[in-house]
Structure 1
Amino acid sequence: MSEGLRERKKRETRQRISDIATGLFLARGFDSVTVAEVARTADVSVNTVFNYFATKEDLLLDRSPEVEGLLARIVRERGPGESVLAAVRRDFLDALETGHYRYGFHEGGDGFVRMIETTPSLAARVREMNEARERLMAEAIAEDLGTGPGDLAPAVVAAQIGAALRAVVGYAVRRMLAGEGIGSIAPDLREQAERAFGLLESGIGGYGTRPAGRDRGHGHPS
């Protein structure tokens, strides 16, 4: 279904407010900019800002719904013969190869990363996003495999993959904060990611492998 005019205008307004807020935050620091200043610069009311963003932190972390739902989407869209771990590994390495932001690092993102790491409220919001991402992944695994409420395997698998991703991304972040660009970090980051996923392979490498002939994102395994 195509996007209607009203929905498009709302999406564009939300993006414009976030872009303006991000520019102000990067220029002056997150804590030095008020929501009222963002509203004034964007030529909207404070109430309008909060209609689009629940908190000041969400003005900067405006892609949080996409980030939180990322691993659940990967689980649902994995291909025939692909396990949960293999699907995440493939997607992570693709993001690294293409320079996509979805795992929290990208070329030119050092200022963004530094602001999050040095602002307690933003760091706390990112931790909440990581927790939500793992919870949604566990729910997607349980739904996809049809496991019962007493089966802890989906939560354990999601927690292990989430921990590996946090460790690998944390490695990239530390080097970015030291002044390196993703271009120079990428080869080592790929090696670190391969090692991390390799450590998980012997334990959960085959978990949730989608049967051959099953379409992505439809139905449950028999």
Structure 2
Amino acid sequence: MSTTGTAGAGGAEGVGAGVGAGLRERKKVRTYRAISDAAVALFLERGFDRVSVAEVAAAAEVSKPTLFRYFPAKEDLVVHRFADHRDEAARVVAARAEGVGPLTALHRHLLDGLDRRDPVTGLSDEPSVLAFHRLLYGTPSLVARLYAYQGESERALAEALGGDVGARLAAGQVIAVLRVLAEENWRRIEAGESADAVHPDAVAAADVAFRQLAEGLADRLQ
């Protein structure tokens, strides 16, 4: 009886600990989003360089030390929205079906993103997305931070491709192509074209880009 009671108490304690951990994680995610949302709203209203970290912390109702625990640099308040995409290419390669080459998998993934008007492809004319991209590409320090994220994408993809020098060269070319395609889509939409109007050309450009990659990277990615 004593042993059963001890086991029961331990089980309840374990469940409580798990629930507590889950609650803490959800609270952390909510705080993370609240800080970023407050920051982006201020940056869109007044410009990135005209808003201080202290003002962001006040708007998000957190202390500066708390803000820096979530976002080590001011630029991360904006660019972190690309964080989920840092290893996206690597994940696509790792999850590809048997018999599908890495380059084919990445090409298909991009075309799917274009069809869905995924903001990361640059092919989105949603006003909020356009405003965010205008802030991002119009602020040199944010562009520099975005390039740092893309460097992390290269490293992750290179690892998924084998990790050697050839893999690093291939990953660098793939990530550069994805960047150029996204920037071209955004540039045209920013100039006033709709996402639907740009879509056919975006698909054609993706096809050309991946054909060029296939011709130049046949040994690595076919």
Q: TM-score, normalized by length of structure 1?
A: 0.83
- Separation in 1, partners of 2:57, 2:194: 33
Quick check: 2:166–2:220 contact (8 Å CA) kept in 1?
no
Change in CA separation of 1:63 and 1:205 when aligned onto 2, cut-off 3 Å: farther
Structure 2 vs 1, CA of residues 203 and 173 (structure 1 numbering), >3 Å: closer, same or farther? Answer: same
Secondary structure, aligned partner of 1:142: coil
- Paired residues, what number? 202
Pairing of 1:152-191 with structure 2 (within 5 A): 152-191=165-204
Q: Which residue of 2 aligns with 1:34?
A: 52
The equivalent residue for 2:8 is none
**Are the counterparts in 1 of residues 155 and 168 from structure 2 also a CA contact under 8 Å?**
yes
Structure having the higher Rg = 2
Residue 105 of structure 1: how far off its partner (Å): 4.7
Does structure 1 retain, via aligned residues, the 8 Å contact 2:121–2:181? Answer: no
Contact 1:68/1:130, CA 8 A, preserved across alignment:
yes
One-letter amino acid of the structure 2 residue matched with residue 85 of structure 1: L
Distance apart, 1:93 and its partner CA: 0.9
Q: How does 1:6-155 map to 2 (within 5 A)?
A: 6-108=24-126, 109-142=129-162, 151-155=164-168
CA shift, 1:206, in A, is: 6.7
| Aligned amino acid, residue 188 of structure 1 | D
> Percent same amino acid among aligned pairs?
40
What's the CA shift for 1:42? 1.1
Paired residue type of 1:48 = T
Higher RCO, Cα 8 Å, sep 6+: 1
Letter in 1 for 2:43: F
Root mean square deviation, CA, Å: 2.1
* Contact kept in structure 1, 2:93 and 2:102, CA below 8 Å: yes
C-alpha contact (below 8 Å) 1:58/1:64 kept by paired residues:
no
Shift of 1:125: 0.7
Runs of 4+ in 1 over 3 A off after TM superposition: 102-105, 205-209
Matched letter for residue 53 of structure 1: F
How far apart, in 2, do the equivalents of 1:9 and 1:104 lie? Answer: 31
TM-score, normalisation: structure 2 = 0.83
TM superposition shift of 1:58? 0.8
1:173 corresponds to which letter in structure 2?
W
Q: Normalized per residue, which structure has more helix?
A: 2
How far off its partner does 1:205 sit? 4.8
Give 1:83's aligned amino acid: G
Pair 1:114–1:22, CA change in 2 (3 A): same
